[in-house]
A and B are shown apart, each in its own frame.
Chain A
Amino acid sequence: MNQKELKIFAANIRKAALRAVSKIGAGHIGGSMSMADLMAVLYGDVMKVDPKNPKWEERDWLVVSKGHCGPAVYGALALKGYFDVEELDTVNQGGTRLPSHCDMKRTPGIDMSTGSLGQGMSTAIGAAWGSRYQGQDHYTYLVLGDGETNEGQVWEGALFAAQQKLDHLIAFIDYNKKQLDGYTADICDIGDVRKKFEDFGWDAQECDGHDVEALKAAIEKAKNTEGKPHMIVMNTIKGKDCSFAEGVLYNHHMKFKPEDYQNALDALDENIKAIEEEV
């Protein structure tokens, strides 16, 4: 996809993620919105995947360790054709294949079950290790929340991945500066988290997580750096482009009304129209 297409894909992922939680009228809105552009870049351009064969051995892997943002992932998977878009309406309802937190046993295209924060760090590392051991050259992508890096397991993994020189592991931190109870700086400050990973032996960059070209460039640069795992700290806005969420302090998990949902869809359609009209 070109830049314009990726931006439109990202807006459509936001719409699909909102649709996914709209039947219940509540969900993890903030973090789903802040990582939507990354989902667009990964599924629209970067990752080698086959929606018709989700377990394809040569695919790139994705571990969304901030597993509560399942709706954003499901939006991307549905739009890519892993399952019908209509199935998004079943999210979080009894018997669904699309639970709030990512579940590899239920959902086509989910590579790892996550939800207990910090754990996707290690499972992604294991997947990257296992792939390398078996002579495969695909990449394992990992998305961590910023609040998630409060977890000690993240730093165990940071040491381990550097020791193992896992250069086909490309991780992202969705640094939207907020966790459930407020600003990360006020709760358990992670400060210059890029520098922390660099000190742990990673190749670490920082970029605008809502700029699809910047994300693509950062991933490309990571792939060209050998011998170290890669961290791309994405500066993002929690609730980005969701009219009832962006700008609200407590937007980690939100309840919303049908009219809020409709207004958000309308605003995203406006965004899409504006992107289409860009020269």
Chain B
Amino acid sequence: MYQIEEKIMPEAHEMRAVFAKVMDDMAKNDSRVIYMDCDLMNSIGMAKYWKENPDRAVNCGIQEANMIGAAAGMSATGLIPFTHTFGTFASRRVMDQVFVSAAYAGLNVKIIGSDPGITATLNGGTHMPLEDIGMMRCVPEVTIVEPADSVMLEDLLRKAKDTYGVFYIRLSRKVADKIYKDGSTFEIGKAAKLRDGKDATIFATGICVPEALKAADMLAAEGIEAAVSNMFTIKPIDKEAVIEAAKATGAIVTAENHNIINGLGSAVAEVLAENVCCPMERIGAKDRFGEVGDMNYLKKAMGMTAEDIAEAVKRTIARKEK
């Protein structure tokens, strides 16, 4: 069960600090947990853990393909490896290793791809994974989740540990807005409803969740009631939530820090196309590469702001059949 904060404020800690704390705790309580990284221990806050647990933390060096393969081999012996590198490398660079060595082989590998989409900010376009969800969606049996804040991150990490199979966890290292009250828990594959509304539904994930909530506030000021749902599991997508939202509100907007092709928007569109007729619009990168800049610049450049979402909601509502 989850509870929502009354007021959305930035969290006190960076996501990576919570990630490191939870990894440390999970490893302490389960000897099967192994942490693996590709020379980014310092970037993700795991350097301390690595120094304190040299037998449990494997720094592979800059060799992502070997890391994923070695993790698959470890998992075949019963271990639960959590692997981390930037999302660009954790997806497109190791696609075949994820596909064959981990997923096709039916093994138990957890893949953390950090700096999703525009959160790579100053590292720029080369380091900006706007396609990682799309690639992972095409790999059978992979679960894809994107925590919106550190409370959700903690719960999803623990659930990934306790759920057999390949997980792709999209992780922003930075300070997130706190959406959920401490101790909240979630069900993988079930959207977390944040706000009710009868006129439209916004399905958002990751850094787009607070933007969606702001958009709903802006729309409310204009008399439009938009529901907001945090679709933190992109695969398997919560079909029931999508169908229910389409029937109840008749207009759907998705908001994601990813290419609009083959991400959350596509997953929702597929459910709609096969089940219920409903106008929708996708907020996200419009099939373009990333670029360097700060978060404010990049949100605007990509059309991922609350204003962009609110406008999309209004356009979608206007397309409803009278």
Interface residues of A (CB under 8 A from B): 63, 104-105, 111-116, 118-119, 121-131, 133-134, 152-153, 156-157, 159-160, 163-164
Closest to B73 in A: A126
User: For the complex, what is the distance from the CA of A122 to the CA of B72, rounded to whole Å?
Assistant: 8
Interface string of B42-61 (1 = CB under 8 A from A): 00000000000001001011
Contact A122 B68 (CB under 8 A): yes
Q: Number of B residues contacting the other chain (C-beta, 8 Å)? A: 30
Interface string of B100-127 (1 = CB under 8 A from A): 1100111000000000000000000000
**Which of B14-22, B75-83, B213-221, B292-300 lies on the face that meets chain A?**
B75-83
B275 near A: Cβ within 8 Å?
no
Contact B76 A126 (CB under 8 A): yes
Secondary structure class of chain A's binding surface, majority of residues? helix
- When A and B form their complex, which 8 residue pairs have the shortest distance between CB atoms, in order from nearest? A126-B73, A122-B69, A130-B77, A126-B70, A156-B66, A156-B63, A123-B73, A113-B105
Which of A104, A112, A126, A160 counts the most B-chain CB atoms under 10 A from its CB? A126
B97 near A: Cβ within 8 Å?
yes
Closest to B104 in A: A113
Q: Which of B67, B68, B77 contacts A127 (CB 8 A)?
A: B77
Given contacts A116-B99, A133-B77, could you give 5 more A-B pairs where the C-beta distance is less than 8 Å? Answer: A118-B65, A130-B76, A133-B34, A159-B61, A160-B60
B74 near A: Cβ within 8 Å?
yes
Contact B78 A119 (CB under 8 A): no
B142 near A: Cβ within 8 Å?
no
Q: Which of A112, A115, A130, A157 contacts B66 (CB 8 A)?
A: A157
User: What's the nearest-Cβ distance from chain B to residue A202, in Å?
Assistant: 15
Residues of A contacting B106 in the complex (Cβ-Cβ under 8 angstroms) = 104-105, 113
Residues of A contacting B75 in the complex (Cβ-Cβ under 8 angstroms) = 126, 130
Residues of B contacting A153 in the complex (Cβ-Cβ under 8 angstroms) = 65-66, 69, 97
User: What's the nearest-Cβ distance from chain B to residue A96, in Å?
Assistant: 16
Q: A119-B96, A153-B69, A160-B66 are in contact. Are A112 and B55 (CB under 8 A)?
A: no
Which of B55, B73, B76, B104 counts the most A-chain CB atoms under 10 A from its CB? B73
B202 near A: Cβ within 8 Å?
no
Q: Which of A105, A116, A125, A152 contacts B73 (CB 8 A)?
A: A125
User: For the complex, what is the distance from the CA of A121 to the CA of B18, rounded to whole Å?
Assistant: 34
User: What's the nearest-Cβ distance from chain B to residue A181, in Å?
Assistant: 21
Residues of A contacting B63 in the complex (Cβ-Cβ under 8 angstroms) = 156, 159-160
User: For the complex, what is the distance from the CA of A112 to the CA of B105, rounded to whole Å?
Assistant: 7
User: For the complex, what is the distance from the CA of A20 to the CA of B153, rounded to whole Å?
Assistant: 50
Residues of B contacting A63 in the complex (Cβ-Cβ under 8 angstroms) = 73
Q: A113-B100, A116-B96, A119-B100 are in contact. Are A127 and B76 (CB under 8 A)?
A: yes
Q: Which of B61, B68, B70, B100 contacts A129 (CB 8 A)?
A: B70
Closest to B76 in A: A127
Residues of A contacting B67 in the complex (Cβ-Cβ under 8 angstroms) = 122
Contact B76 A122 (CB under 8 A): no
Which of B70, B96, B97 counts the most A-chain CB atoms under 10 A from its CB? B70
B200 near A: Cβ within 8 Å?
no
